[in-house]
Amino acid sequence: MGSPHAVGIVGLGVISGQYLDTLVGSSAVRITAVADLDRSRAASVAERIDGCRVLTTDELVADDDVATVLNLTIPAAHAEVALAAIAHGKHVYGEKPLAATFDDARRMTDAAAAAGVRLGSAPDTVLGTGVQTARAAIDRGLIGTPVSAAATWISGGHESWHPHPDFYYRTGGGPLLDMGPYYITSLVQLLGPVVAVSGAASRSRSEREIGSGPRAGERVAVEVDTHLAGILHHASGAISTVTMSFDGDASTAHPIEVQGVDGALVVPDPNTFAGDVLLHPRGGDWRRLGPSAGYVDAGRGVGLIDLVAGHGRADGAMALHALEIMTLLQRSAESGVREPLTTTRDRPSLVPLTAAGAWRTA
């Protein structure tokens, strides 16, 4: 890859620490600048990184020593920051979802294509050994032709632990747009693109109480649905079901289970990079599959490294397709009508089993 790729980070909230753990130790990239609305928070990060400067967002997206902007702002700001960076000829990799609305996301992908720059987006967890090993098993025919899959994520909501959970309950938030990207992107990785969806949704209450931090006891208005169930119709003929909820407590359901004509697979939590993949061949017993594909010991930010290396497995097209799936699930929940998709994304190339040393140095 030659010289380390220059990256500037906008937004240094809770998730940024996980990205820094990966990127600061990488031989592929170097962090040259950071920006945050809280300048003292940016300064605290910059002082721990050699050669890193504190800039404003406007300065960072225009800076000559930034090749790619890592956009870790809240969903409502994803499009604004990304479009500004693209206008200055920067590549962009951002947190999920790609944007708070599908229209904004489409503007981003169109702008990136017109400018000839790369656009990528989380989740990159799907590039780890968990989902990639499961996909390799499907590709090898270990369960025969895939017929169906079920994806389940249920919790009581993030306000119990997050000190500022407001955006989870505003436009661009909710369990579907927050956690759905991990599961829906995984389903596309495993079974291919989706051609139509049907959904149903509800919300259990109009307010949530913050349970920790300096705002503990403060109430947050709920503006989005907090429980959604959906059906995804894949181009392959497979059918997936998804359940995403802030209105439960716990579940014993597997994160993702795939059924084929000759067996079944249990896929580990797609919000993590690894975990056990379990195979049940027809007439056999459950057994664990050792890692056979994916980035080993990966962390958040490996998708950015994959992007700047020219692979782009977590690219804007995948993120746009996932966002349209989620947007249309919400629309279908409101209308009661099955919704066809306008986007597609062929499954990206499988990640070969790649040792951590190949992409990080610490």
**Residue-wise pLDDT tens digits, 246-275:** 999 989 999 999 999 999 999 999 999 999
pLDDT (tens digit per residue) in 130-181 = 999 999 999 999 999 999 999 999 999 999 999 999 989 988 789 999 999 9
Report pLDDT for 362.
35
When comparing pLDDT for 76 and 237, which is higher?
A: 237
**Would the pLDDT of 358 be above 80?**
no
The Cα 314–Cα 96 span in angstroms is 11
Check pLDDT > 80 for residue 202: yes
The residues near 105 (Cβ < 8 Å, ≥ 6 apart) are 79, 97, 98, 99, 319, 320, 323
* Paired tokens of 15: 């998730």
Looking at the chain, the whole-number percentage of residues with pLDDT higher than 90 is: 92
The pLDDT of residue 360 is 53
Distance CA 351, CA 126 (A): 10
- Token pair, residue 197, equals 């969806």
pLDDT by residue (tens digit) across 11-44? 999 899 999 999 998 999 999 999 999 999 999 9
Summarize pLDDT for 35-91 with one digit per residue, the tens: 999 999 999 999 999 999 999 999 999 999 999 999 999 989 999 999 999 999 999
Is pLDDT of 1 > 60?
no
pLDDT tens profile 204-221 = 999 999 999 999 999 999
Instruction: State the pLDDT confidence band at 355, using cuts at 50, 70 and 90.
Output: confident
Residue 94 structure tokens: 């951002």
State the chain's mean pLDDT as an integer.
95
Mean pLDDT of 191-211: 96
Distance of CA 120 to the CA centre of its chain: 10
Give the whole-angstrom CA distance, residue 197 versus residue 217: 38
Architecture of the 5-121 domain: 3-Layer(aba) Sandwich (3.40)
Mean pLDDT, to the nearest integer, of 190-217?
Answer: 96
List beta partners, residue 200.
Answer: 229
Task: Classify 268 as helix, strand or coil.
Answer: coil
Range with lowest mean pLDDT among 2-6, 37-41, 315-319: 2-6
pLDDT of 245 over the 80 cut: yes
Q: Element (H or E) spanning 354, and its range?
A: none
Higher pLDDT, 223 or 355: 223
Domain positions in the chain are: 5-121, 126-290+314-340
| Strand-strand pairing, 5-10 and 29-35 | parallel
- CATH class in words for 126-290+314-340: alpha beta
CA distance 46 to 35: 9
